[in-house]
Structure 1
Amino acid sequence: MSALSGVRVLDISQVLAGPYAAMLLADLGADVIKIEAPGHGDHSRQMAPRVADNVSGAYLAVNRNKRGVSVNLKDERGRELVRRLAENADIVIENFRPGVAARLGIDFETLSVANPRLIHCSISGFGQTGPYSARGGFDLVAQGMTGLMSITGEPDGPPVKCGVPITDLTAGLFATYGILAALAARERTGVGQQVDASLFEAGLGLEVWESVEYFHTGVTSRPTGSAHRLGAPYQAFRCADGHFTVGADGDRHWPRFCEVIGRPDLPADPRFATNTERLANLAALVAEIEERTVTRKRDDWLALLEAAGIPAGPIHTVPEALEDPHTRARGMVVDIEHATLGPLKALGPAVKLSDTPASVRTAAPDLGQHTDEVFGELGLGAADLAELRDAKVIA
């Protein structure tokens, strides 16, 4: 039994935030039906990296555990098929610009008439209301407009975006959080509701410390490189063969760290006696620390720091992180079988449930792979499907 066994989801979204949210639900056992346009399908199918001539790694990454249907939403018969699927669905996820779903007749107001229990999630760039609601949703733009880029990078450097599409992925996470809350509420009320998530609000929602700094002190947060804006030392330091990270800002760890690096005098220095002083004199603090850390290699320091109980770690490349024995022990790299490509590797579920665990069962579907299967469940026979295919309503 999976956590979401028996829950059906229609995924009418593409590229990242919506498909990511739907994939998280699929990992938990939901029956997710991915609805794509005939011919080109989800835009991510055309994106890099190419795993094979006609297969995109970007598409594979966020569409596993789904059944794939190809239907033409520009045709009223195609839209009617989707509405019929929605009558027996629990959740619909779409990421059209606000207003498009209503024009297609697959918005919450329309679909909930036939299915009052339906939970309808709309993911957009700026939400369903407000002066920017009609704008498209792009992670880079959202990172800039929410202030994330203004606090990322090195001090006095140019604006830098996060290394991952953080507002896209977080919008998907927040959408999933809203959907699961709506499912819980439906258990009490018997009716569904609209879930409205956006890249813009996802970016703002991550600024928990930066917002309180501004609200209560009037200070505008600035980039701090790898350093923490509220504690020091808590950042990356140079060593003889690169960098490593240390979190020694607490009163317990700070003097112990100084002992390890051979500078037991630093806690008595008035510039570094408290966390407040250390933050105020961060450049001087880093210089004093790195005078010692550059004398030894990373792994030597990490062994000493671990023995002393001080939080520290290497700065891995992505391949190093994926090959790390702890990554593998936690099931974060899994093997999966693709219908045409054969065995592939994928990221495993990031949350572990003891009784109803998430799992990776099937690879992302080929375009329209399950069209006949899914619409056959509506009672359409072979002749009906052939007629719709000849009319280019399905593919």
Structure 2
Amino acid sequence: MPHLPASAALSRFRVIDLTQVRAGPTACRQLADWGADVIQVQMPEHMRGDDTLGGQDGSDYQYTHRNKRSITLNLKEPEGIAVLKQLIATADVVVENFRPDVKFRLGIDYETLSKDHPSLVYASISGFGQTGPLAQRPGFDQIAQGMSGLMSVTGKPGDGPMRVGIPIADLCAGIFAAQGILVALLEREASGRGQWLHTSLLESMVYMMDFQTSRWLIDSDVPTQAGNYHPTSIPTGVYKAKDGYMNIAVFGSKIWERFCDILGAPEWVTDERYKDKQGRSIHRDSINAEINRRLATQERAYWVEKFNAGGVACGLINDVKGVFEEPQIQHLGMVKDIVSIHQGPQRLVGQPVQLERTPSTIARAAPKRGEHSEEILRELGLETDTLTRLKAQGVY
């Protein structure tokens, strides 16, 4: 089956996906979900390493590689590289997350490819950057979480550093790479030229530290762990009602007054300990204990209704099952249905951005390794006898 775009938005672009594991595949999934013809290039089955997410039949792989086509090419063979270059000549974008030196050794780096394909947009994702003292180090999500400072501000004080519960460095690097690709494609419309763009897990995580970095760079304040409570806005965090935990966020003096009134503690508004932000920060332990004591008199549903009606942000803390039972999640239509020819019906989370005229959907389930090899090679003009020979030589 030829390209089946998931959206009209990017359907005119072809992307060659040379990535594996998560960060690179995430970048390419973003483009595929918006309609790009993403061709995933993998090593043939007999040569494959551990380059998949929980195996190709696993839920992780199915989620990450939807809306793509798959071809196998043996990049250790000169003919495999030659076919890859033919494929790249038809493309707008190449995405890779090899170790920084590998692309040069294979002769598929940006400088080499752009000589014959000056409009090519070439995206590289690495652990620590393309150059510098750590460029050749292997990079993994949790390493970047630690080095970026993220783990030093995550978790309860005194419990030691804590990783985030998702591979946030991989995911953010992938999403930033996709954003960079779109920026480069927009710039190409003006200049007619492609360019090399690159990001890394480490850079992405340092950027995602956001206000915590400015606390140091501007205020010379080293942020520390604040557990489930916001480090600078009090009271904001996890609180316990009669039947379980909930989140409450109180920002600004007006919201603080409303919060106190709903909680039945209007005297806190004028209490010297709590009346301003600085006082609540100093006395955060006592105010949080008082809040929990009052919340314990009613169940979460009562407080969620009361606080939100009064303009105080508040919500349940769901497990993953509970997420998809939320009426608002169901209303937003975030879960998409697709039928895999290999696995049958599937339900997957779609894109979180809604374009009214050119929406994203899931048009194609994740492919098996090399499922579209012959289809794609025939699109390049290769005849049956050539395909037979290349197959026999292990080129694809």
For 2:318 and 2:121, locate their aligned partners in 1 and report how far apart those are by CA, in whole Å: 40
Query: Given residue 204 of structure 1, which amino acid in structure 2 is its aligned partner?
Result: V
Q: How many residues align?
A: 389
SS at match of 2:253: coil
Note the residue ranges of structure 1 that are not aligned, 5 or more in a row.
none
1:337 alignment partner in structure 2: 339
Q: 1:66-77 to 2 correspondence within 5 Å?
A: 66-77=68-79
On the 8 A contact 1:14/1:42 being kept in 2, the answer is: no
CA distance in 1, matches of 2:206, 2:245: 30
Contact 1:335 1:343 (8 Å CA) reproduced: yes
Give the deviation of 1:200 after TM superposition: 0.2
SS in 2 for 1:127: coil
Picking from 16, 19, 25, the partner of 1:19 is: 25
The yes-or-no answer on 1:31 pairing with 2:33 is no
1:92 to 1:353, Cα distance in 2 relative to 1, 3 A: same
- C-alpha distance after superposition, 1:224-253 (max 9, x if no partner): 112112211111101111111111131111
TM-score normalised by length of structure 2: 0.96
Tell me how far 1:41 sits from its aligned partner: 4.8
| Contact map agreement 2:124 2:197 (CA 8 A) in 1 | yes
* Bigger mean CA offset, 287-296 vs 174-183: 287-296
Identical pairs, percent: 39
Name the CA shift for 1:307/1:10 in 2 (closer, same or farther; >3 Å). Answer: same
The aligned counterpart of 1:6 is 12
Shift of 1:96: 0.4
RMSD: 1.3
Match of 2:386 among 366, 374, 384: 384
Q: 1:206 aligns with which of 182, 205, 208?
A: 208
Question: Which residue in the other structure is 2:361 paired with?
Answer: 359
Q: Give the Å deviation of 1:322.
A: 2.2
How far apart are residue 44 of structure 1 and its match?
A: 4.9
1:110 Cα deviation after fit: 1.2
Name the structure 1 match of 2:259: 257
Report the 3-state secondary structure (helix = DSSP H, G, I; strand = E; otherwise coil) of the residue aligned with 1:366. coil
**Do the aligned residues in 1 keep the contact of 2:230 with 2:237 (CA within 8 Å)?**
yes
Report the AA paired with residue 61 of structure 1.
Answer: Y
Q: Select between 139-148 and 287-296 the one with higher mean Cα deviation.
A: 287-296
Separation in structure 1 between the aligned mates of residue 48 and residue 346 of structure 2, nearest angstrom: 22
Match of 1:321 in 2: 323
Q: Aligned partners of 1:90, 1:187: CA distance in 2, in Å?
A: 12
- Listed as ranges, the gaps of 5+ residues in structure 2 are 1-6
Aligned 1:276-315 pairs, distance under 5 A: 276-315=278-317
2:173 is paired with a residue whose SS is helix
2-structure distance, mates of 1:273, 1:296: 25
Letter in 2 for 1:71: L
Q: Conserved in 1, the CA contact under 8 Å of 2:336 and 2:361?
A: no
- SS of the residue corresponding to residue 11 of structure 2 reads coil
Q: 1:12 to 1:267 in 2, by over 3 A?
A: same
Match of 2:377 in 1: 375
1:281 and 1:123 map into 2 onto residues whose CA distance is: 45
Which sits farther off after the overlay, 212-221 or 30-39? 212-221
**Is 1:167 the counterpart of 2:169 in the alignment?**
yes
Q: How far apart, CA to CA, are the structure 2 residues paired with 1:124 and 1:244?
A: 38
Whether 1:135 aligns to 2:141 is no
SS at match of 1:177: helix
Question: What is the aligned partner in structure 2 of residue 125 from structure 1?
Answer: 127
Question: Following TM superposition, where does structure 1 have runs of at least 4 consecutive aligned residues deviating by more than 2 angstroms?
Answer: 40-45
**Partners of 1:44 and 1:336 in 2: CA distance:** 24
Matches within 5 A, 1:217-236: 217-236=219-238
